[in-house]
Structure 1
Amino acid sequence: MSDLETRNSKSELHINVKDVPFHLCKETIAKRSAIVSSLLERNKIDELPCILQDIEADPETFKLVAKFCYGYKVNLTSDNIISVLCIAYYLGMKEEHSTDNLLGKASSFLETRVLPSWNETVNALRSGEKSLDKLADFELVDLFFDSLIEKASYDPRLLGEPIKNREETTSEYRPNPRRRLFDNDWKSEDLITLPLRFYEPLMIRAMESRSIPVEYIVTSICKYAKKWVLDAEDSVSGKKREVVEAVERLLPHKRGLISCEFLFKTLKHSISLEASSECRNGFGIRVSKQLDMAKPTDLKILTQGYGEKDIQLLRTVVTSFYSNYTNEEEDSEDVSLFVKVAKLLEEFLLLAVSEDASLKLEAFVALGEITAAISLGVLRYSDGIYRAVDVFLERHGYLTESEKMEACKVLDCKKLSRQGCEEAAKNQRLPLRVVVQVFFASQLQIRDTVAKEIKGGEEIGVWSDEDEIEKMTEKLLGMEIEDHECVVHRWKKAKKVSVWRQVKRKFGCLNATSSSSADACTCDVKKKKKKKIHHHYK
């Protein structure tokens, strides 16, 4: 090796940045870098190649820094500003070492060009994720957060427009035109592109500031969950689980702020991702608190597949809803909520049998029992269950008579309206036993109506027992039901007190050990006293 080559070798600084080699002049770099200058003065040349090993420097950014040392103009952007700051800081490129140095230029760019702009701030925070840890002493993250919260306080629409709940609408936010930060045609960077380690503390600080309407914060959180969990097909389950747990921590518990559809989906995902029990229970509580606001399609999210665990999840949600109202003296508002949920379950049951022809008998009965239990003591009439049974029998014409009775056991004939009774009495898909029970339910309705009118002091003509029996007999005779003559004969001979008892004995309803299909529509479910229950969503 010649003397010239030896001198050149000694004057060069060899650095590898992510396997990309750089051969730089030591003296040139030392003029701008206090760290390089200090190592050369102390003759610690061996340490020079390791000066950047503690930071996540990328080759392109380091190339910019090196060119600055050689006198070239540096093109600073929101994409590279944090990385440039980090390298300049670690190399000691301060004003004390050299005037008009890189650290000062980068700091000025951050202050004047990045932080005043929403888009540039979001982009810089997202791009400089790894480098920001190395600049913790500068508290740059807090600086970014404060900048973003200030801008969102002036115009919350930067977080996204809230989706109004169908039951509880939020007041429309109208920002002061003087305080608008952007035109409608200008697309803002979305905070949901930030990594979770920045997004969660930012949202916490935004809520603590109380300067941004909560519905806008909720909108952003829901969009974050949608991007990283609900719509993320290729994401690792561990990352999804981390996000869904953070989303549950962030979301408020106030009724109506979050759509039921979103809550049902996140609850389902929290279970499938095996999130923490706190997360699963948190979503379950939110769902149960506004179950009355849900739609039948929302319930379908929970029970998709209609497996045993899916149906148990629905049962848990419903039970949790009722446990929220445990006062013995329920006000009228509570009762109206019970009515809404009872009707919701009837609509859902009908939706389930209408859209899924493969719905199994066991699943239908399980769903029907939940629906019937909810309507008990809440709905005076529940024709919805009858319509669901009718559709189920129509779509499962291959069922045996005993299987049809099993399906009909969720039907309480006494809760059919007058119109429902008329339709059921003509329905040849129903088993004979159920049709007879429908007739007697209709008779009881007539008696109740007459009794109420008499009690009200009105003078009316009251039918005799024979008149009622004749009327029911004529209805039976008008229908093509196998062996109906036997039923009519037994009915006409029966006395008023013993009629219902004889039919129940025939159907096995008086026997405590009789099959569940035999007492399909006649045995009332006793209403249990409400207790506080801790629900676990598994």
Structure 2
Amino acid sequence: MDVSCDLQVDVNGEQVFMVDKKVICSYSGRINKLIGKSKRGTRYLKVIFHDFPGGAESFELITRFCYSKGKIEINSVNVSTLYCAASYMEMKKSVSGNQNLFELTEKSLEDVRYWTWSELLDALRLCQNLMPVASSSGVIDKYLDSLIGRVASSCETSPCPSTSSADSSGFRLSCDTKSTESLRNSAFRATWWFEDLASFEPFLIETLVKQMVSKNIDHGLLSKFLFCYQKSRFSVADEKCKTMETVIEMLHLLDSSCISFKTLFGMLRITLTLKISKFSRNKLESMIGSQLDQATLDNLLLPSPVGSSYLYDVNLVLRLLKSFISKGACCVPLTRLRKVASLIDLYIAEVAPDPCLKPSKFLALIRSLPESARDSYDAIYHATVMYLEVHSGLSEEEKMNVCSGLSYEKLSSEACSHLARNKKFPSKSAGQALITQQVKLKSLLQETNQASPYLDSPCSLLETGSPGHEDQQIVLYAGKLDLSTENEKLKEHLQGMQWRVLELEKACRKMQNQMAKMLKSRISSHNNARSLPRLCS
């Protein structure tokens, strides 16, 4: 056959091939279309491909096939390249009755289930250089389907509940297996494929995990694989970002209870040095925030972003808290809510001495959780004391705003007493603390009198026209006074009243102890009387 070189083909700028137009056109529908659009009479034509799958090496295989009249050996090594190139060159239909390369390669791919594991991995790695045709043609899906089938068959997809969490040492294949050796073998059988897939590009991992999720592969196993993949892929900054974004995106598809909370926080610390997308960062923070009750104080003490003046990243903690109660505080179990409140109280105590922490941020931390999350506000009070000591330059209005985060009703008597004498606090706040304590004391006295109506209680002096009655009225109505303009004498008077209230509390406690002893004595004597012989009764 006479062969002429009347067609130039530039493949991805890598190499220019001189081929016989007639020979290539007899197999390729794509070349036929391009030649048909050219002007008639043109002796030499040139075709430029910018995205030929596999580049110059792949096109050379196509030319061999064409020049050998459709005779070529197809095996696991070259079938991916030939399949994608045939799809790109539109060789799906036989031209002039010649051999159809697409049909030949498609038939060869039916034997993928007989390939070895190594052949399957090599084919998938090769497909990474054949994108996007490898994806659109469906060849990647064929390989992944076979790969997932083998993974699933080797580590059954129904682990026992005791080992299905992401932090467990292994994933059991059989609930009957209890020995350490069996668990070790089970863990190996479940994770043996991790290292083999670590070399895959992020886009291939994304496709793989999505298909595994759709086929109900255990979420705990998938989360462990993603963490393993993330650790093994770190090299240059761009690759780190892409890998991290892919892992976060895939973890977000999984059940949060199957994801290691400790590892999530480790990823968060890594992202502080990376410029990952805001979308991915939000997803990571959302996953962490939903499990915030598992966090420790060390987890939260993350340094502030570069360029910030404050010590710790308070804004991050506020975002995590927002995620934690995203569905509403009423939807969060009270035990979890109070556990987070205790953690945040510790965090507030750590950040309070920061001289650069703005009052608005300090107050936002306190108000980030509803009042019902805390039984006591003593920890918040002590943190507020530290904050006001460090920020002594605040105005009276700013101090009052900071104190608005306190719940005076949930302060202990000792905290209220300390607040009333603390000159760092605004006078209105001190007065409010005294009023609250007085109301508590009155309620306590009423409960005591109801419990022992036959006893002459010294506390009843408050309810009569006793000398202390005027003091009580002053405390009860102190809220109507303008305490911001009171003089030093009034402050001393309020403090004196506070001490008298404390003395009354002591008297009440003493009375309650005496009453308890009396009741105990009466019960004891009654029992003794019943135990005496009838002759002595």
For 1:283-362, list aligned pairs within 5 A. Answer: 290-294=291-295, 317=323, 320-322=326-328, 325=331, 334-354=333-353, 356-362=354-360
Q: Indicate conservation of the 8 Å contact 1:13/1:48, yes or no.
A: yes
Greater relative contact order (CA < 8 Å, ≥ 6 in sequence): 1
Alignment of 1:200-215 (within 5 A): 200-210=206-216, 212-215=217-220
2:9 is matched with: 15
CA shift for structure 1 position 143: 1.4
- Is the Cα–Cα contact under 8 Å of residues 65 and 84 in structure 1 kept in the other structure? yes
Please identify the structure whose Cα radius of gyration is greater: 2
Identity between Structure 1 and Structure 2 (%)? 18
Aligned equivalent of 2:391:
396
Following TM superposition, by how much is the alpha carbon of 1:13 offset from its aligned partner in structure 2, in angstroms?
A: 6.6
CA RMSD of aligned residues (A): 6.3
Greater shift, 149-158 or 12-21, is seen at 149-158
- 1:397 shift after superposition: 2.8
The reply on whether 1:365 has 2:370 as its aligned counterpart is no
Match in the other structure for 1:141: 140
What amino acid maps onto 1:35 in structure 2? Y
Q: Distance in 1 between matches of 2:258 and 2:480?
A: 47
CA pair 216-496 structure 1, distance change in 2 beyond 3 A: same
Question: Are the counterparts in 2 of residues 118 and 148 from structure 1 also a CA contact under 8 Å?
Answer: yes
1:190 aligns with 198
Match of 2:55 in 1: 58
Alpha carbons of structure 1 residues 133 and 364: separation in structure 2 relative to 1, 3 Å: closer
Residue number in structure 2 paired with 1:217: 222
Aligned partner (choices 407, 412, 420) of residue 417 of structure 1 = 412
Secondary structure, aligned partner of 1:388: helix
**Displacement, 1:382?**
1.6
Q: Distance in 1 between matches of 2:416 and 2:8?
A: 92
User: Residues 438 and 350 of structure 1: is their aligned pair in 2 closer, same or farther, counting only changes over 3 Å?
Assistant: same
User: Which of the numbers 364, 376, 394 marks the counterpart of 1:381?
Assistant: 376
Aligned to 2:489: none
Alignment of 1:368-517 (within 5 A): 368-371=366-369, 374-375=370-371, 377-418=372-413, 420-421=415-416, 424=419, 427=422, 429-435=424-430, 437-438=432-433, 441-442=436-437, 464=459, 494-502=470-478, 504-507=480-483
Classify 1:109/1:15 alpha carbon distance in 2 versus 1 (closer, same or farther; 3 Å).
Answer: farther
| Residue 35 in structure 1 maps to residue 27 in structure 2 | yes
Q: Secondary structure at the match of 1:251?
A: coil
Change (3 A) 1:125 1:188: same
Change (3 A) 1:11 1:370: closer
Partner of 2:80: 82
Deviation at 1:445, TM superposition (A): 5.0
Deviation (angstroms), 1:149: 1.6
More off after superposition, 7-16 vs 496-505 = 7-16
Counterpart of 2:392 in 1: which secondary structure? Answer: coil
Given residue 129 of structure 1, which amino acid in structure 2 is its aligned partner?
A: M
Question: Displacement of 1:46 after TM fit?
Answer: 7.3
- In 1, are the aligned partners of 2:11 and 2:55 still within 8 Å (CA)? yes
TM-score (norm 2): 0.57
5+ residue gaps, structure 2? 37-41, 158-162, 174-181, 486-537
2:27 partner letter: I
Structure 1, gaps ≥5 residues long? 1-6, 159-163, 326-332, 468-490, 510-538
| Structure 1 residue 113 displacement after superposition | 5.3
Pair 1:124–1:452, CA change in 2 (3 A): farther
Query: Contact 1:383–1:416 at 8 Å: present in 2 too?
Result: yes
Tell me which amino acid in the other structure corresponds to 2:85: I
Q: 1:126 aligns with which of 128, 135, 140?
A: 128
SS in 2 for 1:410: coil
C-alpha change, 1:124 and 1:18, in structure 2 (3 Å) is closer
Kept after mapping to 2: 8 A contact 1:34/1:92: no
CA distance, structure 2, for counterparts of residue 49 and residue 427 of structure 1: 89
Question: Residue 191 of structure 1 contacts residue 220 of structure 1 at CA under 8 Å; is this kept in 2?
Answer: no
| Equivalent runs, 1:510-525 vs 2, <5 Å | none
- What is the CA distance between 1:391 and its match in structure 2? 2.1
1:54-81 superposed Cα distances (whole Å, 9 cap, x missing partner): 843412444566689999x999997x76
